[in-house]
Structure 1
């Protein structure tokens, strides 16, 4: 059965280790787009952090092209029309903030276009996230949060050894209330329990009348597991984690070897 939709993670998947989208990958994806395939960037990033790549592929600002952001919390057209949005509450943020203080890890929250930091000086990995996503950083004290603030996701952001430690210290109530996503060695993300990349890909495919067997998903990290499992063809990057490789139907080349292009050529372009 032919592939009609390809869901692609961004960091360490679509982009190489220098955070570049290579010409070979652009040309390969454009060839697939010309065949009518939907190329859907499926990322933990906010929309501003993925828009430049849609522009490079020539499918930005379109009503019939789609973006999945915040690990599946939002599905929109690349023109910005919201299709689905599942957010967190201010109480969620405050509860995770209290936990962060208790176990000794830094925290931030993200809205549609901003990163909220509770610290006067933004932590190193908040600045790193800002550089990746093009989102503005706002210092917002916990007592200044408003009911109208819409939180898409909450993140622990810290050194790898701290993130590794706190992963083991998360209490049961956190897993009961949230989908806990280890998206990189320096991030743990908390999103609504119903939200995942896999659920978002299923929702979008159903909306477009595409059978899930006609979907390919490509990723490298723990937040990609759900969409690799959901898709008819699940592809792990050569640089991906072992847990992902163990469930994927195919392991492609690394992100520094145009692994996305290699998989698309194999399964869509028959090269």
Structure 2
């Protein structure tokens, strides 16, 4: 029996409008009324995800940055923070600043829940507007490396370039050294090797709630959701998810614009 539902934000409960639809909100409230806990696991910054957490009235900690940062908004307690090693961040920055990448990529460093960039590019401005965050332009990102970044993001409109970047860096770093993923086709993301949403959901379920993976349902739409879809007793992919994500899910819901998350909740938890 499901005791915990964990939801991704972008492409899952929030679509083009960057808000949660009434139908999805009502489904979440109905799930909670049955005594099932609802949590969020997102690649977003903690600050950027907070309004969604509040909107669904979650009483659990919020798993941000793919789970690198797990914090309870009720008491501000940080349960987990697993940043990247400074040396690894430096190596990635060196790689991104090679001539073939420098002009293509917008690089984001996330430190202490702030966003640091070399300069505010068009891609960064669009990202900042959607996430409700003001980026801090510092010129040389090396200036920020007194601190270890929670996450590094490389943005590029050229999805083929992001695919190539992911492939190249996966051949240079083992999964034990770095967790590499894409959250949308234009976002390359790098975190501490122990970080992924599957581990975040496991932490919420087993460490905080004392339940098993068979008691968990997860809904997501992209490659950064794969681990949590695989972990859960019920793993649901959205209809807008890439084929590779749909292939590992137990069920594929309608798209985010068709309130697919609500349909999945109605099917598995509310029927």
* Shared fold per TM-score greater than 0.5: yes
Matched residues in 2 for 1:252 and 1:143: separation? 43
Q: Is 1:100 matched up with 2:101?
A: no
**Structure 2 residues without counterparts, runs of 5 or longer:** none
Does the 8 A contact of 1:13 with 1:219 survive in 2?
yes
Residue 5 of structure 2: aligned partner: 6
Tell me the alpha carbon deviations over residues 132-181 of structure 1, each in whole angstroms, 9 at most, x when there is no partner: 3223311222342252x241101111112321332333363334521101
**Structure 2 match to 1:78:** 73
Query: Unpaired segments of 5 or more residues in structure 1?
Result: none
SS at match of 2:97: helix
Tell which deviates more after alignment, 206-215 or 16-25: 16-25
Partner Cα separation in structure 2 for residue 115 and residue 52 of structure 1: 18
Q: CA deviation at 1:113?
A: 2.4
1:15: which partner in 2?
14
Q: Structure 1's 17 and 134: CA in aligned 2 closer, same or farther, altered over 3 A? A: closer
Q: Please report how far the alpha carbon of residue 32 of structure 1 lies from its aligned counterpart in structure 2 after TM superposition.
A: 1.0
**Aligned partner of residue 210 in structure 1, secondary structure:** coil
Match of 1:113 in 2: 113
Q: State the partner residue of 2:60.
A: 65
Q: Following superposition, which runs of at least 4 residues in structure 1 exceed 4 angstroms of deviation?
A: none
Please name the residue that 1:222 is paired with.
223
Residue 125 of structure 1 contacts residue 186 of structure 1 at CA under 8 Å; is this kept in 2? Answer: no
- Partner residue in 1 for 2:195: 195
- More divergent stretch after superposition (164-173 vs 235-244): 164-173
Map residues 21-36 of structure 1 onto 2, 5 A cutoff.
21-36=20-35
